[in-house]
Amino acid sequence: MSSRITKLKGILESLVRPTSTPPEPDVFEDLAFVEETEHAEEVCRIVMESDREEAEIAGLRSDIYKAAEGALADTTLGGYKGQIRLFLKFSSKLPKALEKSATSLNADTPVLICIWIGFNCEKPEKSEDWILRDRADRTWSHAMKMRAAVSYYYAQTLRKGRGMFLEKSDGSWSGNPVYSDIVSQYMRSLRRRKTRDGERPESVRSVSSTVLQQLFEYNASIPFSSLPSRNPDGVGGRVWGGVRQRIMMSLIYAISFLCFLRIEETLRIEYRHIRLHDLRSGKMELILDFRKTHQTGEIKPFFFYFNREEPWLDVPSLLAEWLYQSAIDSGYLFRGFNASDQPVVERNYKLTPGVFLQNFRHNLSDIKEDWMLYGGHSFRRGGVQHMIIEKRWSIIKCCSWGGWSTDLNNLTIVRYILGDKDDPIHARQDFLNPEAQIGTMCNHCGRTCACY
């Protein structure tokens, strides 16, 4: 009986116990779907915020790189961009493997740079390679400019930095290809070849005080009725400038000569940079806010006074005459001219260095001077020589006046004093000649002893 009851009990329990786990209610499926949806939305939000942050960072990065271009002068940056265009154009004419090396770094990128420089700077007759044949060779200094432009292209445009050009473990390349061993070795060998071929660094002839005097006297002899003319068959022939333009040129000559300024620096002078302190002595102060060697400020002012004995160097008088004739009272001090010998009215329009050099060389032709020997740096070099040789300034005084370091760690001023294109003050054969005339003639007593 008991066994039967036990058996029935087991049957009843088997009927009551579920045979399988019942399915979860639908509400749990809904909750899971909601959780997945919320997670996806969170992921999307994070991605979108990340994209916005990346876009902002990319924008800031672009702004920083653009602002970094301000470290270079406009003329230097323009020259770099011009050379970069030529480099890319040259690369596009090469085989595809080398063309790709211009924008994608690989082992052939330094070779491409050497080929481009050699194509423009190697002597054609010494080259047996097809790519260097029938080309007029350029100077070593031009090769250095090409190298600097390509270095800027990879450092700033492609943002590869200025580190050494090295191969990574994965086979890719990093750094600037200009700083590779092959480019450095090629540039050194190119310089030796240029030296063996007789190339020497060319410098312009310095402008002397005598040349400035001749230019001033010639310009002062031009009548006010004279106007610029490009007609060589006219009454007065071809005339490059009228009286007002010549007054402006004389002022540019004097300021560049006395302050040891580059032409680009002189042409950037504005009306606000000038201060007049004393009418009796003509004391005038020139305060510049730009110098190539002082781009972060700390530029010392220049002071001028009346110089009746040397009117071609009398900056206050020349400035007063120029302001009276031009009626300029704001903006750039030196401007372009129209055909009626009137300066451009727009105050933000300044005279360009190219136009100045063209007019300067025309002016040199007026006095029968060889204009091919002179350039924009002639005034800077001539001013240094004038102060040291004729005015007996010490080198320390010239360095302080011109803005050079007075610790004499820069030999720029020495190169300005010594120039192979300059007219020698004394012939070499007369250095020890006791009968030769030694020294500079004194403007007061006429003596020519060496102590003056």
Distance CA 399, CA 396 (A): 5
Q: Which residue has the tokens 């961009």?
A: 81
Measure the CA angle with vertex 311, ends 310 and 317; round to 5°.
Answer: 135
Backbone angles phi and psi of 431, in degrees to 5: -60, -40
Measure the CA angle with vertex 79, ends 77 and 85; round to 5°.
Answer: 105
> What is the per-residue pLDDT for 136?
56
> What is the per-residue pLDDT for 157?
85
Distance CA 265, CA 290 (A): 7
Angle between helices 243-259 and 315-326 (to 10 degrees): 150
Distance CA 249, CA 371 (A): 15
Q: Which residue has the tokens 């350039």?
A: 375
pLDDT tens, N- to C-terminus, the chain (452 residues): 455 555 545 544 554 455 445 454 444 444 454 455 556 666 666 656 666 666 667 667 666 766 666 667 677 888 899 999 999 999 998 888 888 888 889 999 999 999 999 888 887 655 455 444 445 568 888 899 999 999 999 988 888 888 899 988 888 899 999 999 999 999 999 888 888 887 766 667 889 999 999 999 999 998 877 777 666 555 555 678 889 999 999 999 999 999 999 899 999 999 999 999 988 999 999 998 887 666 555 788 999 999 999 999 999 999 999 999 999 999 999 998 888 888 888 878 889 998 999 999 999 999 999 888 898 889 998 999 999 888 888 888 888 888 876 555 556 666 666 665 566 566 667 666 666 655 555 655 555 665 54
Start-end ranges of CATH 1.10.443.10 in the chain? 209-417
Distance CA 381, CA 211 (A): 14
> What is the per-residue pLDDT for 335?
92
Which candidate, 327, 333, 367, 398, places its Cα nearest to that of 215? 367
pTM above 0.85, yes or no: no
> What is the per-residue pLDDT for 26?
47
DSSP string, 92-143: HTS-HHHHHHTTS--TTHHHHHHHHHHHHHS-GGG--STTTTT-PPPPHHHH
Q: Which two tokens stand for residue 39?
A: 């997670």
141 vs 77, 87, 173, 210, CA distance in Å? 17, 17, 29, 31
Distance of CA 350 to the CA centre of its chain: 18
> What is the per-residue pLDDT for 291?
75
Residues 6+ apart with CB under 8 A from 62: none
Burial label for 273, CB within 10 Å (0-12, 13-18, 19+), is middle
The stretches of 133-285 forming alpha helices (DSSP H) are 140-152, 181-196, 209-220, 243-259, 263-266
> What is the per-residue pLDDT for 413?
65
Reported for 182-187, long-range contacts at CB under 8 A and 24+ positions apart, including other chains, are: 182/110, 182/111, 182/114, 183/110, 183/113, 183/114, 183/147, 186/114, 186/117, 186/118, 187/117, 187/143, 187/144, 187/147
> What is the per-residue pLDDT for 27?
43
Q: Which residue has the tokens 């030694």?
A: 438
Distance CA 248, CA 364 (A): 15
Q: What CATH number does the domain located at 209-417 have? A: 1.10.443.10
> What is the per-residue pLDDT for 15?
47
263 vs 186, 198, 334, 360, 428, CA distance in Å? 34, 30, 11, 11, 32
